[in-house]
Amino acid sequence: MALASNSSRSNIEAKIFHHAGWKESFSAIVGGDEVKAGKPSPEIFLEAAKRLNMDPSSFLVIEDSIPGVTAGKAAGMAVVAVPSLAKQSHLYTSADEVINSLLDLQLEKWGLPAFQDRIEGTLPLEPWCIGGPVIKGFGRGSKVLGIPTANLSPEGYSAILSEHPAGVYFGWAGLSGRGVYKMVMSIGWNPFFNNTEKTIEPWLLHDFNEDFYGEELHLVVVGYIRPEATFSSLEALIAKIHEDRKIAERALELPQYLKYKDDPYLESSLHQEN
Ligand code: ADP
Ligand code: MG
């Protein structure tokens, strides 16, 4: 495994220094100041291959930039693009595959050993929390589809959401004064904010007799299911969401996910005053 960046060697080292084990995990690190021409020239990747004493064609390049994709292809390597800007995938057509986030990287597609961390159709995550009052959504009529999503107020959570790629996730939901429920949710781009803000739409897997707008909802997100997708019909979309629900319902019974049902963050929403 090699790291090849147009940044100078010293800047690369300064950046990865703080992350334990990162430097050691690369057999070669090539900085932009160590080659004559940086990306989009293939030179930096060819230099990395040379230092590893391997044929360029046996490498898989993982790139976030367009010049990097161009460089990887020019070096005769397979390239998976992970665009750093949302909704830019149409600009990356020369890559062999464009994925939304590293959560979707499937090494086995490229003749490399597969990641072993998926369980029963889910990818465990370092759990993260988000919560607030339930607000009116965006009138997409999810209740009409039989899939109500309790939208959270965006106030104060755009930073945490920017860390998490769009896609389908699952976990536990604590609703003030009521209980803790399984939930499956999507993180997506809010069409009202010109693609700069993400929204979070949790579907609580429980039948409620009434709406709970204004109530305090706390979520612990424990795993990832799949990236966002486009569907040819509404029926296909609904079928997929129900498939996601089944995956989440089953997975949340596994000890490694079930244990977060007792997370104090969920409980704290059950004793809210007002
Ligand atoms: P909106 O566009 O306002 O979010 P939805 O059609 O998505 O409207 O319905 C969501 C609302 O439905 C939630 O805010 C909540 O008050 C209510 N609701 C009822 N049952 C559920 C459930 N199982 N999961 C999520 N929300 C539910
Ligand atoms: Mg909604």
What are the pLDDT digits (tens) for 140-196? 667 778 899 999 887 778 788 888 999 999 999 999 889 999 999 999 876 555 556
Q: For strand 60-63 and strand 78-81, is the pairing parallel, antiparallel, or unpaired?
A: parallel
**Mean pLDDT value across residues 241-248:** 97
Using alpha carbons only, give the angle 214, 217, 218 rounded to the nearest 5 degrees.
155
Residue 183 lies in a domain: yes
Residue having the nearest C-alpha atom to atom 23 of ligand 1:
204
DSSP SS3 for 245: helix
Q: Which of 83, 110, 137 is the last residue of a domain?
A: 110
**Inter-helix orientation angle 66-74/43-51, to 10°:** 60
Judge whether 194 and 243 are in contact, CB under 8 Å: no
pLDDT at residue 192, rounded to an integer: 58
Q: Last residue of some domain: 61, 81, 110?
A: 110
Do 200 and 225 meet the contact criterion of CB atoms below 8 Å apart?
A: no
Q: Considering 43, 201, 210, 267, which one is annotated as catalytic?
A: 201
Average pLDDT over residues 125-142: 87
Q: Note the pLDDT tens digit of each residue in 76-112.
A: 999 999 998 777 788 899 999 999 999 999 999 999 9
Query: Is residue 178 one of the residues assigned to a domain?
Result: yes
Do both 127 and 88 map to the same domain?
no
- Would you place residue 274 in the very low, low, confident or very high pLDDT band (cuts 50, 70, 90)? very low
Residues 105 and 154 in one domain: no
pLDDT at 89: 80
Tell the residue number behind the tokens 């597969």, with chain if given. Answer: 114
Domain that holds residue 230: 123-270
- Into how many domains does the chain fold? 2
Residue of the CA atom closest to atom 4 of ligand 1:
137
Residue 115 lies in a domain: no
The answer on 265 and 145 residing in a single domain is yes
CA 118–ligand 1 middle distance (angstroms)? 30
The verdict on residue 116 lying in a domain is: no
Q: Are residues 54 and 105 in the same domain?
A: yes
Query: 154: helix, coil or strand?
Result: coil
Structure confidence at residue 190 (pLDDT): 64
Q: How far are the Cα atoms of 6, 146, 229, 243 from residue 236, in angstroms, in the given order?
A: 43, 14, 11, 11
161/263 same-domain check: yes
151, 92: one domain: no
Of 216, 228, 227, nearest in space to 173 by CA: 216
**Which ligand ends up closest to the CA of 142?**
1
Contact assessment for residue 213 and residue 134, using Cβ atoms and an 8 Å cutoff: yes
How many beta carbons lie within 10 A of that of residue 108, not counting itself? Answer: 9
Q: Do both 255 and 165 map to the same domain?
A: yes
Q: Which pLDDT value is given to residue 271?
A: 61
125, 223 in Cβ contact below 8 A?
A: yes
CATH number where 254 lies:
2.40.30.30
Single residue among 110, 133, 167 that ends a domain in this structure:
110
**Is there a single domain that holds both residue 76 and residue 172?**
no
**Which of 152, 212, 241, 244 is the best mutation target for the ligand 1 pocket, counting ligand atoms within 8 Å of the beta carbon and taking the most?**
212
128 with 90, same domain?
Answer: no
Q: Tell me, yes or no, if 201 is annotated catalytic.
A: yes
Q: Is the pLDDT of residue 61 over 60?
A: yes
Residues 254 and 179 in one domain: yes
- Residue-wise pLDDT for 16-37, tens only, equals 989 999 999 999 999 999 999 9
CATH of the domain at 51: 3.40.50.1000
The percent of residues above 70 in pLDDT, for the chain, comes to 94
* Ligand 2 centre distance from Cα of residue 154 (Å): 13
- Which backbone phi and psi does 57 adopt, to 5 degrees? -65, -15
* 118 falls within a domain: no
Does 225 share its domain with 249? yes
212 Cα nearest atom in ligand 1 = 16
Is residue 152 located within the same domain as residue 253? yes
pTM of the full structure: 0.89
In this predicted structure, the answer to whether residue 46 has a pLDDT above a threshold of 50 is yes
Is the pLDDT higher at 229 or at 212?
Answer: 212
Nearest partner of 249 among 172, 160, 151, 143, judged by Cα: 172
Token code pair at residue 49: 């291959």
